[in-house]
Amino acid sequence: MRNVELLMPAGNLEKLEYAIRYGADAVYLGVVDFSLRAMRKGSIITLENLNHAVELAHQLGAKAYVTINIFAFNKDIKLLEECIDKFADAKPDAVIVSDFGIFNLIKKRMPNTDIHISTQTNTLNYESVKFWKDLGASRVILARELPIKDIAEIRKQVPDIELECFVQGAQCVSFSGRCLLSDYFTNGERNANHGNCSQSCRWSYKLVEETRPGEYYEIHQDERGSHILSPKDLCLVEYLPQLIEAGVDSLKVEGRTKSLYYVSAVAKTYRQAIDECLKNPSADLHKYFIELQKVGNRGYTTGFALGENKPDSYSYDISKGLAGADFLFEFKGQEKDGAYLVKIKNKVLLNDEIEIITPSEQFQTKILKIQNSDMEEMPLGNTNDDVWVTLSVSPKDYKYAIARTIGVKSHVS
């Protein structure tokens, strides 16, 4: 089988680096005002540090794609005209767009930069792919609604363009994400197609009759209400051989707003799964599906990949992604007398059995000692504390190591 790209989200600079170190061949990143999923807090990527972000990806041996995929009004075009030179100066490997006006601007002002067509354009057929190719696009990110067999036909009809598809992450109740629910329910304050979705599809809804205000009825019999619009998360890790065989060039993971743990664990899992199926296309990849249950999800579905989106593709009982394993701590890159400085994410206790993952390792170990900044021993480490931990088995490369609980908790299906 041929090589295929693993494309991971880079919500901020730290996640960009972890995504690549854990196995990404490329990352996609956006800035506020021009991206549908731009981070708005933390070490965010801005026009001011965009050059650094792209340079960092290149230094780590990966490509960087910049998203300018909003649906643009006149004011957006004018703003982009004012700052497009900053995008050009960053020298990204490609720009992801969905708007014809932005497409035109990129072609004129960044003529040597590849253009990737966003999944927001709802590209479903080979004639559409030919259209974008003839306009000068180098890659089309196909709609999530496409079954694998249709992707194979598109590849057959249009062999000389790159094809990308989503394999992991949150899905939208609307067709290819073109939704107005958020705008409506927030009186226009949270525009989904300008990167500020309130995820109204994840809310719990009840039924009220006009003449009986205040009397609420369950739409679905569940004490937590009903999430009738909330799709389960996509997971196609077990279908990687079929996707690669169909002609997909890039396998994309959704999640620029997801945690550092999510990005690292998912990148590691897909890296291993891709490498294994490239060596052995008939390999059983179910173990990787189990691994992906350890990260936040609303339950998993194959979406439209197998030909139809079934009723059980919707998550009727939960809206927030629940992880099968708790993210316990990240290593802060310091070691002293066999102890490691860590940032606690979820409370840990002395003698806890935990699992460590690094870009090159995955193993179980035990917490032998917890110490504060004065190196005084403690029975536990609380959330958000910086403490020193001593382990029964230590990682060889601890700088980018992450700790989590062992196994998969039962609430994940």
pLDDT digits (tens, 9 = 90+) for 89-105: 999 999 999 999 999 99
Tell me which of 339 and 197 has the higher pLDDT: 339
By DSSP bridging, strand 139-141 and strand 114-117 are parallel
Which tens digits make up the pLDDT trace of 2-56?
689 999 999 999 999 999 999 999 999 998 777 655 555 557 899 999 999 999 9
**Mean pLDDT, rounded, for 62-85:** 94
Q: Is the pLDDT of residue 358 over 90?
A: yes
**Total domains present in the chain:** 3
Q: Is the pLDDT of residue 202 over 50?
A: yes
pLDDT of residue 215: 76
Q: Is the pLDDT of residue 229 over 70?
A: no
Residues 199 and 99 in one domain: no
Residues 262 and 371 in one domain: no
Give burial (CB, 10 Å; 0-12/13-18/19+) of 123. buried
Residue at 285 is within a domain: yes
pLDDT of residue 199: 73
Residue at 321 is within a domain: no
Q: Is the pLDDT of residue 411 over 60?
A: no
By DSSP bridging, strand 206-208 and strand 216-218 are antiparallel
Residue at 295 is within a domain: yes
pLDDT of residue 210: 75
CATH of the domain at 234: 3.20.20.70
Average pLDDT, the chain: 89
Q: Is the pLDDT of residue 388 over 70?
A: yes
Domain of 32 in residue numbering reads as 5-175+230-313
pLDDT bucket at 224, cuts 50 / 70 / 90: very low
Residues 62 and 105 in one domain: yes
Residue at 225 is within a domain: no
Last residue of a domain, one of 283, 313, 343: 313
Residue at 71 is within a domain: yes
Residue at 412 is within a domain: no
Residues 114 and 152 in one domain: yes
Q: Is the pLDDT of residue 195 over 70?
A: no
Residues 349 and 252 in one domain: no
Last residue of a domain, one of 286, 313, 340: 313
Give burial (CB, 10 Å; 0-12/13-18/19+) of 235. buried
Residues 152 and 268 in one domain: yes
Last residue of a domain, one of 287, 313, 339: 313
Q: Is the pLDDT of residue 226 over 90?
A: no
Residues 202 and 288 in one domain: no
Classify 83 as helix, strand or coil: helix
pLDDT of residue 364: 98
Residues 167 and 182 in one domain: no
pLDDT of residue 21: 98
Residues 164 and 97 in one domain: yes
Distances (CA, A) of 388 to 156, 291, 371, 378: 56, 28, 5, 10
State percent of the chain over pLDDT 70: 84
**Mean pLDDT, rounded, for 133-159:** 97
CA atoms within 13 A of residue 373's CA, in its CB half-sphere: 3
**Mean pLDDT, rounded, for 342-362:** 97
CATH of the domain at 378: 2.40.30.10
Residues 254 and 361 in one domain: no
Residues 78 and 205 in one domain: no
Residues 278 and 378 in one domain: no
pLDDT of residue 44: 86
Residue at 379 is within a domain: yes
